[in-house]
Structure 1
Amino acid sequence: MTTIRTLAAHNSAAVDLGALAPKPTAITAGQQEAAREVWSNDRIGTGLWECTPGTFTAERNGYTEICTILSGRVVIEVEGEDPEEFGPGDVMVMPSGWKGKWHITEHLRKHYTTISD
């Protein structure tokens, strides 16, 4: 049987993600994040995430992440590649093994899906 799970608000920008908390991999002092998982099983997870402006490091080890930017802006920096800017409506894929820096220039909210290797 398939179960459908929906959020209370149909507008993902209005969904309460809870209190912001310190971003563990922040390079910028005081950077904060919040997240709300919508659904998951043993291999796939999906939800909403937001983060305040600043820079943090990120790695995707053992899973691939696909995300759509809902609001805000970010510049993604990967060693050996030109930085890329993403904003509302843009889709990003970070394959397992990906490593880089996120430079959030405007408070960012995204929808994400993770798929374990």
Structure 2
Amino acid sequence: AGDPSFKTWAQDEAKDGTVRTGVWEATPGEVRSIKGETFEFCHILSGVVEITPDDGEPVVYRAGDSFVMKPGFVGGWKTIETVRKIYVTVG
């Protein structure tokens, strides 16, 4: 929903590609999120998001919050206020 845009500033990657780090930004809107086999640690630097697993309740994260999206996650990612996060993916 909406017309979100995304920016990624990749910072580092393991030689085998299994670990990646960087900063990611999204403008307001909604998208589907499917994690597959990847763990993702996120730390919100600015903004507000609401994440709703297909089989669960929505959770709101704001600047200063951290969370992990586990392998197999499927759900909605709603950017309420332009969000910028630090990420580390493993998988």
TM-score exceeds 0.5: yes
Count of residue pairs the alignment pairs up:
89
Q: 1:80 offset after TM fit, Å?
A: 2.4
Distance in structure 2 (CA, Å) of the matches to 1:100 and 1:82: 10
1:33 and 2:44 aligned: no
C-alpha distance after superposition, 1:29-66 (max 9, x if no partner): x2100001100012100000000001000111121100
1:96 and 2:59 aligned: no
Distance in structure 2 (CA, Å) of the matches to 1:63 and 1:78: 16
Q: TM-score, normalised by structure 1?
A: 0.73
1:62 and 2:37 aligned: yes
Q: Which residue of 2 aligns with 1:106?
A: 81
Q: 1:113 offset after TM fit, Å?
A: 0.2
More strand by share: 2
Between the aligned residues of both structures, percent identity stands at 33
The runs of at least 4 aligned residues of structure 1 exceeding 2 Å deviation read none
1:107 maps to a residue whose letter is T
Q: Which residue of 2 aligns with 1:80?
A: 55
Q: 2:63 is paired with a residue of what secondary structure?
A: coil
Distance in structure 1 (CA, Å) of the matches to 2:27 and 2:10: 19
Give the CA RMSD over aligned residues. 0.9
Q: TM-score, normalised by structure 2?
A: 0.93
